Every structure is written in C-alpha cells, then in structure tokens.
C-alpha cells in the first residue's frame, strides 16, 4: 500500500453519470488481487480546499505494462462530482491498493465461474473476470442495471465470455434482477458485488457452492485504524466478532460476515 | 527545537496522533516509522470489550466529519497483552485513553493501564455518558469530572491528562475543577455533538443518529477554548481539533497548547503526522523561534503584557 | 406549497435572512425585490445606539467565519423612524431582533419595537452578556433566560421568538425553560464562540479576540440541536446555521425546523435567499412533497413510529 | 452593482507573487470611478468547495470597448492562491463594481496631481492616473515597493507621466519610503492607496492640499449590510459616527475617517 500522486491518463463518460478514469503510477504494480480498492483524495484547485474524507473506489482493472489502473465510478455526490472534472495530465492523490480482493490464486479446480454485479458493483468484476479467463476459467457475467442508460462495459464483458445484461425496467437486456436468472445455472464458484439487497438475494440463491462477495461501508481511514467500516461476523464465537471492510475485506467469503 | 517535556512525557516533538484515529498504531506503522512521532495516544480502552455502534459510523460534513464509533475496543486486558506488547518495540511514549460508563470502570481500567511500563500517561476521556447519573456525561458537570479525576489519580501510577468535552457552557470551570482534583494535564478538545440528515432517506446518516464533529470545522472552537483555559490553569494542555499542518500546530501553541494531537487529518493524509513534524523546524526558523516551547500562550502573553503596561 | 404559518407570521415561504447579515434590507433591496422573501429578520436593536467592536470584525475559518460586530446599531428609536418606515413599503413580515445588556434594556426595546405595525414578531437575542450578572450571557442560564422571556412577553404586543445560543451544555433545558416562560417560538442557533490566531502577528485576528462562528461548519451542531429540541417543545423553531441551498433547508425541516434563516451565505452569494426560494418547489416535487410543512421533524417522527411498532 | 460570472480573458505574473487578471463582462460597463473594487468568489473546481468569504480586489483599470476590467493582486492566502490558478476561458463569480472611488468628475481646476501608492495599493492608482491624464491633468506617480522583485507596472505608469519608483532596500529606483520625496513637490491634489502606516505618513505630509485615500478593511458582505468594515469618522458629531469602507468608501477625503 502506498500513497501516490498518480497521473490521470484518461477520463471518459461511459453511461449516465458513470465515468471511467485511468491513472498511471507505481501503485499499479502493487495490485495483488482483483477487487482491491483505492482511497482517493479529491482536491479542489491548488489542493487547498477539499472534501475531508477520501473516497473508496474499486480497482476495475490493472494494466501492468502501462503501469495503469482503471476505475469506474458514479458521480452525484460532493467528491465524485469533483472527481469527474479531473482531467488528463493532472495528478490525483491515491492511497492503495487497499484491502483483500477476490481470491484467484488457488482456484485450480474451478472450471466455471459466474460473476454477478449490480450498478457500480460491476467494475471490480471486470478485472476479476479477466484474471479468471487468463487462468482458464470460463466466466459467465450477469450484470444488473436500473435502465439502459446506466449500462456500461457490456462489450468488455462480452469479450471475456457469456454476458447477461439485466435491467429493472427492461430497456436493455432482460427485464428483472440478477437473481432471476441464477437458477439452474452451471458454475463452480460465484463472485458478487453490488448493493446490499442484491448481495443478500444472491447469498440466498447460492448456498451450495463457494460465493465471494464484495461489501461497501462508509469509511474513514481506509486502512483499518478507525473502525468506521466494521461488519459483524456471523460466527458469534469469532475471537474479534467483527471484520473491517477496508482491510479485512472488502471481499469476504459468503457467510463470514453479516449482510446488514 | 521541538522537544517538549510534560508530566510523564519526554517528547522528541510535540505531535501525536489523537485517540481513536490511529487505533494502536499497527496500520500506520506499516506506512512509516512510528518512532518519528512525539507520542501515540491509543484508542479508548474500556474494562470490558465493546463492539461499539452499528454502521454507518461516519459521515462527512463541511470541513469536518461526524463519527459514532462507540468506543469499540477489545478491552483493557487484550490491549495490554496484544497491543502494548507490540508497541513496546518502539521508542515512543504511549498515552492510554481511558473510557467507561461507571466511575469504577474508569478506575479499574486506569489502574491496569498505568501499571504497564509502555504507558507513560493516561488520558481520561470524560465525554462518555455516565450510566449511573442517567446518561449525563462525566464531562459536563465539574463536580463529577473532579470526582472521577480524583479517584483515577488515587490509583494511577502515571500522570493523568483529562480530555475535556467542548459541549459545555463553561469550559474553564471544567478545566479548573479537574486541575484542582489533581489532573496533571488537559487534552482538549473532544468532538462537538452534531448530526447530519440524509435528505434522500430523510433519516440521520449515522445509525447512532448523533455523532462527534471533528476536523478543521471545529478548530476555531478549540482555539478559543484553549486560549481561555490556558490562562486559567497551570497544567499543560495537549491541543487538538482540526489540525492539518505545521501552521495549525503553531496556532495551537500560540493559543496556549504545549503539545498537539492530530485526529481526522490522518484519514485525509495518512502521512500527515510525520509531514507536520518535518515541516515544523523550517516554520519556526522563519519565525525566529529556536524552541517551540517559547510559543506557548504567546497570543495572550503578549496581550497580558500590553494590558499591564497600559494600566500604569 | 411553501407557505408557512407561525405565531404572528404568515409567510409565503419559510426562507428569511438571518439577523445581522442583512442589516435593514436596504442594500439587498438594491439587488432584488425583498417581497420575494418569507420574512426579514432585521439587525439587532438595542435601546441606545451602539458603535460595536473595533476592527477587524470578521475572519475566515474552514467552511465558516467568525464575526464580532458587537451589535452595532443606531438604537431602537432611529431604527423605528428610519428603517421600519422604509420597510413598511414592502409586503414582507419583519422580525425585530432585540439585544441588551440589562433585562430592562431588552424590555423597553422590545415594547417599543412590538408597537410598530411593520414588526410581526420579536426575536430575543439572548447571547448577549448580562452586565448585572458579571458578564454571564442571558442565554446560558435557563432561569435567567426564562425570566427575560417572561418580562419581554409581559410587554410585547407581538409573538416572541427566543434565539438560543449553542454555547451551552444542555440546549433542551434552555428551550424548555423559555417555552414555559411563554416564548411563542425559538430561533436556533446563534453562533458558536470561536477564535482564530494569525500566526504572523501571533495575535487573535479579531480585535475583540473571540467571535461568533457561523457558516456551513456549524450546520451539524445546529441540526443536532434542532433535532433534540424539536422533540421536547411544542413551539415552532426557526432553524439557522450554515444554510446555503434548498437541500440544506430540507435538512433543517427534517430535523424539526418550521422555517429557516440564512446568514453567512448572503455574503458569498447575495442572491442566495431568492435562489433557495426558487429552488425549493422543484426539490419538494422530486420528493413527492406537496406542502413543505409535511417535512417538519420527519427525521424523528419516522423513528418514533418505528420504535412504537417495534414495541408491540 | 451586479453579480456576474465574468470570463477570464487573461492572467499573467507581473512580479513576485503579483498577478494581473483580465475579466470580461457586462460589469465593466458599470464602473463609474477609478478606485472602485470588485468582490470575488474564488471557487474550487465545480464550484462546490470554496472559501466562505469573497475577496475584495480593486479595479486597476477598465477598458470600455473591450468590456474588460483589469485587476492586480498579490497571492499568498487561501483565496488568492486559488485565484492565481484561474485560467483564461474559465469564469469567475464577481460582484461589483462596489463602493465609491476617487472623485475625478469635478476636478476642472486641478492641474497637477500626485498619486502615491504602496505595494498592492498601486493598482487602483493606475486607472485613476489614466483618467486624470485624459482630463488634462498632469500626473506624478510615486510608487513604493519592498524590493526590486516586487515592482510592477513601472512602464505603464511612466507612459502616463513622471514616475518615481521607491524601494525599501534600494534595489530599484530610490531607496526609502514614498513620503521621503513628497516634500517641496508641486501639486494641486493628491491620491494615496497603500498600507495604513503609509497612508498616515502621507496624511501628515499633505495637510494643505486636497488628499484622497483608499482604505482597506476585512470585509463580509462588501455591500454595506454586515458592518464588518467600519471606520470611525474623525468628526465626533457626525450623525452616524462611522463609515463603511465597502460602500461609503473605500476612497475617503483625508480627515473624514480615522486612520487606525
Ligand atoms: C470498497 C468500496 C469500493 C467501492 N467501489 C466503487 C466503485 O468502483 N465505483 C463507484 O462508483 N463507487 C464505489 N464505491 C462507492 C463509493 O465509495 C461512493 O459512491 C462514494 O464514496 C460517494 O462519494 P460522493 O462524493 O459521491 O458522495 P458524498 O455523499 O459526498 O459522500 C460523503 C461521504 O459518504 C461516503 N459514501 C457515500 N456513499 C457511499 C457508499 N455507497 N459507499 C461508501 N461510502 C459512501 C463517501 O465516501 C464520503 O465519505 C465503493 C465503496 C467502497 C466502500
Ligand atoms: C477595497 C479593497 C481593495 C483591495 N484591492 C486589492 C488589490 O487591488 N490587490 C490586492 O492584491 N489586494 C487588494 N486588497 C487586499 C485583498 O483583499 C486581500 O489581500 C485578500 O482579500 C487576501 O485574501 P487571501 O485569500 O490572500 O488571504 P486569506 O488570509 O485567506 O484571507 C482571509 C480573509 O481575510 C481577508 N483579508 C486578508 N487580508 C486582507 C486585507 N489586506 N484586506 C482586506 N481583507 C483581507 C480576506 O478577504 C478573507 O476574507 C484590497 C482590499 C480591500 C478591502
Ligand atoms: C473516528 C474517530 C474516533 C475517535 N475516537 C476517540 C476515542 O476513542 N477516544 C477519545 O478520547 N477521542 C476520540 N476521538 C476524538 C479525537 O481524539 C479528537 O479529540 C477529535 O477528533 C478532534 O481532533 P481532530 O479534529 O484532529 O480529529 C475520535 C475521533 C474520531 C474522528
Ligand atoms: C456578521 C454577522 C452578524 C450577526 N449579527 C447578529 C445579530 O445582530 N443578532 C443576532 O441575533 N444574530 C446575529 N448573527 C447570527 C446570525 O443571525 C445567525 O444566527 C448565525 O450567523 C448562524 O447562521 P449562518 O451560519 O447562516 O450565518 C450575526 C451573524 C453574522 C455572521
Ligand atoms: S475505514 Fe477505518 S477501519 Fe475501515
Ligand atoms: S463588508 Fe459588509 S458592510 Fe462593509
């Protein structure tokens, strides 16, 4: 984990209020797992006036050769509205890579994986899918959005494997929720990232195979020191009784922590 | 130039992380050498382990943040066995922050902590609600704060700094009460009570509803209180509230602080403490100050002198 | 949709400039039509003319500002003859802010003001130091605030809103004391006491040394206090402290305010009041709210309901 | 007086920490006197985070044809450090023109004027001098700076008339203070703008001829409503007893207000 003023190498709009940001720097080399995140200080001009708290954003993908990471974020709040104005050539104060991502090292016996994403939970699953495909795992992606205008990275996922787009209003892909299509699907392992109700629904559906979920919590430090981001363990006898999303997570094996 | 000597604390510099913003140092210790720090104020210890409040526990506010962590900690025994053992490997004084909801909790926790050789001083967090007195916080009634201080002083093997809550009508009365009760120093300020409501959910953002406001937003309140209190007490003050830079540290010293703690700013910049420590010498040089202790209370000492002479 | 009815005040909308930030309207009246405003709270009136404090009187702080104007005003008689006569030309209710350093000053000033037909309500600024009681502010001792309220109520021909100081340990005790003493409403909050020290001159920036902290920095404190007080009193609250936008107004209503005042934000954007008034209808529509009064206290009313049902 | 998002048409560095900023907009047409000022809202990016208070800056000159005003400011504080980063093409929230400037309408009988400026008190005197010259008044400018690196607008003033540059350390022009060279000078009217000690010294020297001085005070509203910027009148019997620098000033006839 390092703090670095990374160089912005690209920023573009992907969908309604959704932006893709590319950052170059040494930090990229330190990324060890898909699903890790960075904690970004969004500065005002001159760096003299800025929102107090950093903003946690998942690493969508990492290009080791280019020393680049790609982030995808939704604007709409104070910090992300400033972030979307950041321009190539400027630098951004980034702390990362943080936390533990999706375990992809020892998945030799897995043949088929399904990744399930909702909204801005989709980005980290892209890096994950690419990694899995590289390891010879076939990946089915089920990506849920509110509406057609919110859909992003469809083509990118399709290049990696079968991809099902779902929208709540049916304006793109299949109408419904990601869990509507899970039944009877053939996979060895599942990975999910998205809003809490989605994670809960997925956890109910996928009880018989390994499932890894990525959690969100409001954060302070982002490195495990302030205990802003804790979640209870489901195991009442766990010696700590809690996990920190920022440093123990954000990815947990389903059942390790309470979803609430 | 930066060395500061306070009861129990021989500090190479006056900058330390504030309680609750640095846990027990392990995480920041991965980022830089903790020996750079003047001291470390570790997270509040209670007698029993506490899980704290439900999440969300933090919210952002204009130039500040709210927190309602709820004193989550593994309890004094585990802190001593796990955390202090690790911290013993550093050459940096540890100040143990103590909390409780009964006087007896405080006393027992304080005694245990003060026996540990790594701990050089205690910081009594009196902003906690007193269960016995119907939830009134220890830190808002001078008599209760004084009694608590006295009882902790009676058992503590180390100097006791009392950390004052700013949520009071008269902070000088609180300060004087705990000074008389034997406090060796003061820490000020703790957080201001605040709230944010999410206009989308129409509910308070924090699960606990109210939280403690920290960060630059509260700096003017802290400076005012330290300015007032430092003129009324003889014990030293560890100043805190919104410190982000060496300039802020100097402002605190001018107001009357003898050392400072940095809380919220660690979240924005995890290297802020060592950066401030590195920046201070040059700032002092530019002010023609050779010893930071010269600055303590200079904002009012100068005034005092002026008033004196204008009386003649 | 925006109309609000409070004791003495039939307001076309709930947005008014806060006392001391708008003088008597003449200057802002050159910029826009004052009839757009829900009401105007005019600058504090005292019995005799006051020049106020030496300058500098303002200082900037993170997301806030300090002021120590010192109640400069031409005295109640001149305000009535010059300012109110001019304001009579507008169709906007005037709330007269009243200050003093003796109870008798308040009473006499309040009576005079309340007799003027342009004045629809009084706002008692109890944050002033009480000369008789050795400088203790009226606004920090419930009994004194209650006595003041009673005496002003006894002479006032118009409803009386008491403007609470946030610099107290227990704001609900203050609120309940003045409610019992007959207050028709509350204004909250006045400024937090703060200070800034200029590290170049090594002295406080304000000539008065301390000043009142206002602006977005204090909003979380104001929201928390209104949230607490509105659950304890039956009289309406005019909320203020850091309001800059229609969203802020909604947050205040959710916390428990029935109207709002905008102070510091006028300096950043002189058109902020009419802008907020223009923005509100659309914001409410997006929330499916047809009457802004529905929002009052919704943050805790919702909770109250939840708690009730979970008990069954 | 209007509030306008003026277009930045130019920004350049003139001297150590001294910047010249050009702004275009309708506001320019409203400037009625040299010595008026504008009150600037310095925004962070996106306008979402900004210093709370506006910054008062004198109008240095106005180009009616180009609809442009020129400001000169010294950076070094929170707001001015942000301001110096503003770039051509961006817009700036400006309130103005504010206050009363130097009286130049009825100066028919004046033949020789001296303008006395110190540091960032110099800018409004440039517009004033230009106006005076246009009216056939001959202008002598005495401009004081700390050091050679702080000197700006020397050539611009020289084009208008005789110009004496003074520096405290003698690194440019004459060593000393502006008042050192005032004695025995021949003029009908004097105008001064600069730090308070300079204004006081000038007032002591120029007691026999009309003198106008421009004052500074920390400001809140900038339009006369908050009473942050008051100064006492010297006349104890004045009906108000005070003047507001923002709206009654910033320019006063010497002797009208107390210099302290
Ligand atoms: C581990 C992790 C990974 C994330 N990855 C992504 C991602 O890849 N793309 C993306 O668009 N979003 C992601 N989020 C959510 C993102 O952090 C928030 O949307 C963002 O912080 C909101 O900031 P804002 O300035 O827009 O909102 P504001 O309302 O101004 O934020 C105020 C405060 O609340 C916090 N906050 C608000 N919403 C959230 C939220 N949903 N989760 C956590 N904190 C929040 C902010 O961090 C900030 O501290 C992630 C969150 C976490 C915890
Ligand atoms: C009528 C008038 C005209 C002015 N014209 C010019 C000019 O043409 N060029 C120029 O460089 N400066 C001028 N000044 C001074 C200028 O306003 C300050 O230098 C500037 O406001 C400082 O802001 P900052 O962000 O650098 O400092 P900060 O320290 O961040 O400012 C904090 C607060 O203090 C106020 N402040 C600080 N210093 C001063 C000061 N000297 N005077 C008034 N307010 C101050 C700021 O306005 C702000 O409200 C003028 C001031 C006034 C009153
Ligand atoms: C997340 C968080 C946790 C805190 N926990 C504690 C605590 O356990 N004990 C305590 O005395 N103060 C605690 N504080 C208060 C800080 O120590 C400090 O007094 C306050 O935050 C003001 O300083 P700052 O503005 O630099 O943060 C906490 C503050 C924050 C932000
Ligand atoms: C310059 C200034 C002058 C003020 N004068 C008065 C006053 O005369 N009487 C009063 O009751 N409050 C006064 N206040 C307090 C405001 O009315 C208001 O309560 C406070 O500023 C919080 O609101 P804000 O954050 O929107 O400014 C003044 C505030 C400012 C900034
Ligand atoms: S954000 Fe601080 S512990 Fe996780
Ligand atoms: S700045 Fe407000 S009256 Fe002059």
Q: Are A213 and A254 in contact (CB under 8 A)?
A: yes
pLDDT value of position D184: 83
Q: Are D23 and D34 in contact (CB under 8 A)?
A: no
Number of domains comprising chain D: 3
Cα distances (angstroms) measured from residue B52 to each of A236, B134, C114: 16, 19, 52
- The residue out of D46, D65, D98 marking a domain boundary is D98
Q: How many CB pairs under 8 A join B and C?
A: 136
Residue with tokens 């850091």: C242
Same domain, D207 and D238: no
User: Cβ of C105 under 8 Å from any chain B Cβ?
Assistant: no
Same domain, D21 and D93: yes
- The residue out of A98, A121, A138 marking a domain boundary is A98
Relative to the alpha carbon of C64, which ligand is closest?
Answer: 4
d(CA B145, CA B137): 9
Same domain, D132 and D148: yes
Residue C190 near ligand 4, beta carbon < 6 Å: yes
User: Cβ of C64 under 8 Å from any chain B Cβ?
Assistant: yes
Task: Tell me if B69 and A228 make a contact (CB, 8 A cut-off).
Answer: yes
Residue A4 dihedral angles phi and psi, to the nearest 5°: -145, 140
Relative to the alpha carbon of D230, which ligand is closest?
Answer: 6
d(CA B263, CA B259): 14
Average pLDDT over residues B202-230: 97
Identify the band that residue C77 occupies on the pLDDT scale cut at 50, 70 and 90: very high
* Helix/strand/coil percent split, chain D, to 5: 20, 35, 45
For C221, the closest chain B residue by CA position comes to B194
Q: Is A196 helix (H, G, I), strand (E, B) or coil?
A: helix
3-state secondary structure chain C: CCCEEECCEEECCCEEECCCCCCCCHHHHCCCCHHHCCCEEEEEECCCCECCCCCCCEEEECCEEEECCCCCECCHHHHHHHHHHHHCCCCCCEEEEECCCCHHHHHHHHHHHHHCCCEEEEEEECCCECCCCCCCEHHHCHHHHHHHHHHHHHHCCCCEEEECCCCCCCHHHHHHHHHHCCCCEEEECCCEEECCEECCCCEECCCCCCEEEECHHHHHHHHHHHHHHHCCCCCCEEEECCCCCHHHHHHHHHHCCCEEEECCHHHHCCCHHHHHHHHHHHHHHHCCCCCHHHHCCHHHHHHHHHHHHHHC
DSSP-assigned states of every residue in B79-125: IIIIIIHHHTTSSS-EEEEE--SSHHHHHHHHHHHHHSTTEEEEEEE
Q: Which atom of ligand 3 lies closest to the CA of B189?
A: 19
Q: For position A185, which CATH number holds?
A: 3.40.50.80
d(CA B50, CA B21): 17
With CA atoms as reference, report the closest residue to C18 among C122, C117, C97, C120. Answer: C97
pLDDT value of position A75: 95
Task: Write out pLDDT tens, residues D154-188.
Answer: 999 999 999 999 999 999 999 998 888 888 888 99
d(CA D15, CA C33): 44
CA of B172 from ligand 4 middle (Å) equals 25
Q: For position D243, which CATH number holds?
A: 2.10.240.10
Mutate to test the pocket of ligand 1, among A19, A43, A55, A230 (most ligand atoms within 8 A of CB): A55
Highest mean pLDDT, choosing among B276-280, B298-302, C304-308: B276-280
Residues with CB under 6 A from ligand 5: A 219-222, 224-229, 244, 246
pLDDT value of position A158: 96
User: Cβ of A224 under 8 Å from any chain B Cβ?
Assistant: yes
Indicate if B303 belongs to the active site: no
Residue nearest to atom 36 of ligand 2 (CA): D218
Same domain, A123 and A199: yes
Task: Tell me if D45 and A44 make a contact (CB, 8 A cut-off).
Answer: yes
Same domain, D196 and D140: yes
With CA atoms as reference, report the closest residue to B227 among C218, C195, C129. Answer: C195
Residue A101 near ligand 1, beta carbon < 6 Å: no
Average pLDDT over residues A210-222: 96
Note down pLDDT in tens along chain D; length 260 residues.
Answer: 999 999 999 999 999 999 999 999 999 999 999 999 999 999 754 444 578 999 999 999 999 999 999 999 999 998 999 899 889 999 999 999 999 999 987 777 889 999 999 999 999 999 999 999 999 999 999 999 999 999 999 999 999 999 999 999 999 999 998 888 888 888 999 999 999 999 999 999 998 899 999 999 999 999 999 999 999 999 989 988 999 999 999 999 999 999 97
Same domain, D131 and D178: yes
Task: Write out pLDDT tens, residues C29-52.
Answer: 999 999 999 999 999 999 999 999
Q: Are A242 and A215 in contact (CB under 8 A)?
A: no
pLDDT value of position B134: 73
Residue nearest to atom 23 of ligand 3 (CA): B241
Same domain, D179 and D108: yes
Task: Tell me if A1 and B30 make a contact (CB, 8 A cut-off).
Answer: yes
Task: Write out pLDDT tens, residues D109-120.
Answer: 889 999 999 999
Q: Is D10 helix (H, G, I), strand (E, B) or coil?
A: strand
Task: Write out pLDDT tens, residues C178-228.
Answer: 999 999 999 999 999 999 999 999 999 999 999 999 999 999 999 999 999
Residue D217 near ligand 2, beta carbon < 6 Å: yes
Residue D250 near ligand 2, beta carbon < 6 Å: yes
Complex prediction ipTM: 0.96
Closest partner CB to C255 (pick from B197, B218, B223)? B197
Same domain, D111 and D88: no
Same domain, A23 and A58: yes
Closest partner CB to C267 (pick from D220, D230, D240)? D220
pLDDT value of position C302: 67
CA of B98 from ligand 5 middle (Å) equals 21
d(CA C66, CA C194): 7
Task: Tell me if D49 and A48 make a contact (CB, 8 A cut-off).
Answer: no
d(CA D183, CA D205): 8
- The residue out of D59, D80, D98 marking a domain boundary is D98
Question: If 0-12 CB within 10 Å is exposed, 13-18 middle and 19+ buried, where does residue D136 land?
Answer: exposed
Same domain, D144 and D171: yes
Q: Which residues pair with C160 in a beta bridge?
A: C122
**How many angstroms from the chain centroid is the CA of residue C24?**
15
The two tokens of residue A177 are: 């929720």
CA of A63 from ligand 5 middle (Å) equals 27
Q: Is the pLDDT of residue B124 over 60?
A: yes
CA of D244 from ligand 6 middle (Å) equals 6
Same domain, D168 and D239: no
Q: String of b and e for B153-186 (b: at least 16 CB within 10 Å)?
A: bebbebbbbbbbbbbbbebbebbbbbbebbbbbb
Set of chain D residues whose Cβ sits within 8 Å of the Cβ of C52: 227, 230
Average pLDDT over residues B6-27: 97
Pairing relation of β-strands A211-214 and A251-253?
antiparallel
Same domain, A28 and A44: yes
**How many angstroms from the chain centroid is the CA of residue C87?**
19
Q: Is the pLDDT of residue C312 over 50?
A: no
Strands (E), chain D: 2-15, 18-24, 37-41, 55-58, 61-63, 68-74, 91-98, 112-118, 138-145, 163-167, 174-175, 189-193, 211-214, 230-232, 242-244, 251-253
Q: For position A68, which CATH number holds?
A: 2.40.30.10
Q: Is the pLDDT of residue B312 over 60?
A: no
pLDDT value of position B302: 67
CA–CA min distance A231, chain B (Å)? 8
What predicted TM-score, i.e. pTM, was given to this entire model? 0.96
Q: Are D244 and D202 in contact (CB under 8 A)?
A: no
Domain that holds residue D39: 2-98
Radius of gyration of chain D (CA): 18
């Amino acid at each position: 984990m390092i703090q670095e003023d990374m160089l912005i190498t690209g920023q573009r709009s992907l969908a309604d209020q959704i932006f893709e940001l590319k950052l170059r720097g040494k930090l990229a080399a330190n990324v060890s797992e898909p699903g890790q995140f960075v904690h970004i200080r969004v500065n005002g001009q001159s760096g003299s006036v800025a929102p107090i708290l950093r903003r946690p954003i998942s690493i969508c993908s990492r290009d080791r050769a280019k020393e680049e990471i790609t982030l995808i974020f939704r604007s709409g709040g104070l910090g992300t509205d400033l972030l979307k104005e950041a321009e190539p050539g400027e630098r951004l104060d980034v702390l990362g890579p943080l936390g533990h991502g999706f375990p992809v090292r020892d998945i030799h016996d897995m043949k088929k994986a399904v990744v399930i994403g909702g909204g801005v939970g989709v980005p980290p699953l892209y890096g994950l899918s690419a990694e899995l495909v590289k390891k010879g795992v076939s990946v089915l992606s089920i990506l849920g959005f509110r509406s057609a205008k919110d859909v992003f990275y469809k083509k990118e996922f399709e290049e990696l494997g079968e991809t099902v787009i779902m929208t709540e209003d049916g304006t793109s892909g299949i109408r419904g929720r990601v869990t509507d299509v899970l039944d009877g699907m053939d996979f060895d392992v599942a990975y999910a990232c998205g809003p809490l109700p989605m994670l809960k629904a997925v956890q109910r559906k996928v009880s018989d195979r390994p499932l890894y979920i990525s959690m969100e919590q409001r954060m302070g430090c982002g490195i495990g020191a302030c205990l802003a981001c804790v979640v209870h363990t489901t195991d009442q006898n766990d010696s700590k009784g809690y996990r920190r999303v920022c440093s123990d997570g954000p990815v947990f094996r389903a059942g390790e922590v309470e979803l609430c | 130039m930066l060395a500061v000597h306070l009861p129990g604390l021989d500090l190479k510099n006056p900058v330390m992380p504030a309680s609750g913003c640095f846990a027990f140092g392990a995480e920041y210790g991965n980022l830089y050498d903790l020996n750079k720090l003047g001291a470390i104020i570790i997270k509040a210890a209670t007698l029993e382990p506490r899980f704290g409040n439900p999440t969300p526990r933090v919210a952002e506010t204009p130039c500040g943040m709210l927190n309602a962590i709820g004193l989550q900690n593994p309890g004094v025994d585990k802190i001593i066995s796990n955390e202090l053992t690790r911290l013993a490997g550093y050459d940096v004084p540890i100040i143990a922050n103590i909390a409780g909801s009964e006087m007896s909790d405080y006393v027992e926790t304080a005694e245990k902590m003060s026996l540990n050789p790594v701990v050089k001083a205690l910081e009594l967090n009196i902003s906690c609600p007193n269960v016995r007195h119907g939830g009134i916080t220890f830190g808002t009634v001078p008599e209760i704060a004084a009694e608590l201080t006295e009882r902790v002083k009676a058992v503590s093997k180390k100097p006791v700094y009392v950390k004052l809550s700013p949520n009071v009508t008269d902070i000088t009365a609180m300060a004087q009460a705990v000074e008389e009760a034997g406090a060796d120093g003061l820490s000020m300020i703790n957080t201001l009570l605040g709230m944010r409501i999410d206009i989308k959910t129409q509910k308070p953002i924090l699960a606990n509803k109210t939280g403690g406001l920290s960060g630059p937003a509260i700096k003017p309140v802290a400076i005012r209180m330290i300015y007032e209190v430092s003129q009324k007490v003889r014990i030293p003050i560890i100043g805190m509230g919104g410190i982000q830079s060496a300039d802020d540290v100097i402002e605190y010293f001018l107001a009357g602080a003898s050392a400072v703690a940095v809380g919220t700013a660690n979240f924005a910049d995890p290297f802020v403490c060592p950066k401030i420590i590195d920046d201070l010498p040059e700032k002092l040089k530019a002010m023609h100050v050779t010893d930071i202790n010269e600055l303590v209370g200079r904002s009012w000492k100068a005034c005092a002198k002026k008033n004196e002479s204008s009386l003649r």
